[in-house]
Amino acid sequence: ANMGRTLVELFYDVISPYSWLGFEVLCRYQHIWNIDLRLRPAFLGGIMQQTGNKPPAMLPKRAEYMLKDVKRMAKYYQVPLHMSGGDFQRIMGTSNLPAMRFITAIDMTNPQYLEALSREFWMRFWSQHEDISQPENILAIARQAGLSADLSQKALEMISTPTVKDRLKETTAEAIKYGAFGMPAVVAHYNGEPHLFFGSDRLELLGSVIGE
């Protein structure tokens, strides 16, 4: 990290709509704030399981509010996130593990594509409402994000390797160690200690804590 710059880690999963909002805002702020943004792809399912958390949509009133909330935030931050009531079922029926392993493989081998690739996964799932779990879709997403066919194919082959599986598990465990119980989990390393912020609606508070 550069002297005087605050390291900010964003633990995210592309199945999480709030993670997309937090991601876009931090990607914008990294050019304005004195921060080094580190993208940390992790597995939301693992965090929920290990902390005993439940998806917000399991509470009908909360699901009702979440639809309005996501809509308002998407409009406010100008992110093309389109959420409907059917999306709760879609999330439950989608295996996002291959996607997060693929993103992890790219993070390990060609991190310069990490931002564009992550964004493209969210675009497919939350803007175009397409499947992100199948290998051919993953390859199409990677090509759209600017990865060569060769690079995409290599990363796809890596998702079944212990190296990638372990890395995703480690990153997920790290998020939990910082106190994460859902996503996005934003950790700012400031004044020698980590400060955890949960959700995409605490970013002004994050700025205030780190003097931005």
- Catalytic machinery residues: 16
CB atoms within 10 A of CB 148: 12
Distance, in Å, from the CA atom of 46 to the CA atom of 114, rounded to the nearest integer, reads 21
Contact 158, 135 (CB under 8 A): no
Q: How many helices (H) and strands (E) does the chain have?
A: 10, 4
Distance, in Å, from the CA atom of 4 to the CA atom of 83, rounded to the nearest integer, reads 39
Radius of gyration of the chain (CA): 17
**CA-based nearest residue to 73, from 12, 14, 22:** 22
Please give the C-alpha separations between residue 98 and each of 37, 92, 139, 157, 165, in angstroms, as whole numbers. Answer: 24, 15, 11, 11, 10
Contact 79, 20 (CB under 8 A): yes
Residue type for 129, please?
Answer: H
Residue type for 33, please?
Answer: W
